[in-house]
Amino acid sequence: MTGQKQIGLAKQNQENEFIKLFESKKLTYLEFIEKQDQLLANRSIINSTTVDIIYEALISRDNFNIIPGLGEGGIPADLEDDLVSIAEEVMKKEAMNLILSDKISLTRTLRDPRNPLCKTVTYDRYLPSASVIIIFTNEALSPLLRTVHSVLNRSPPQFLHEVILVDDFSDR
């Protein structure tokens, strides 16, 4: 076997092993995030097909983790006792309760925060459209996606020209 084939085979074995660990859930969420950062930083180890598989699995897992009704209307929510210690570890890295955030729907409802007087104001139907620019650095995925969904779902379509996401030098 040539050196080139051995490298290709080793690379494929490493990718397959990573996918098996992830899909069998032997890799915790925090370990996955750390390992994903390492693998994606070194494109020679992982190919785009593997990245697609990982992201599809991550999306499926995220959808499975959502608890219907949790956080609806902006009502505070708590984690189950068995997840509190995991959440504390993730909070050290993310500076927010990402475990709880991942369990709340991306399209949750919120109470209308406007002053009652503002609710009676009528606006011209022919206002100019607007662009929304969301700038983020090292933002966790669920709060970022929840923000995007909020803009898309709560803005009158005739007034929303575009949504621009700007990654301001995230390093992970």
User: How would residue 26 be classed by pLDDT, with cut points 50, 70 and 90?
Assistant: low
Residue pair 6/40 in contact by the 8 Å Cβ criterion: no
> What is residue 162's predicted lDDT score, i.e. its pLDDT?
97
Classify residue 84: in a domain, yes or no.
no
- pLDDT tens per residue across span 87-102: 999 899 888 999 999 8
pLDDT at 93: 85
Decide if 24 is inside a domain: yes
Report yes or no on 120 lying in a domain. no
Q: Is it the case that residue 163 has pLDDT exceeding 90?
A: yes
Q: What is the pLDDT of residue 36?
A: 63
In a domain, 29, yes or no: yes
Please tell me the total count of domains within the chain. 1
Domain span at residue 30?
1-65
Average pLDDT over residues 62-82: 90
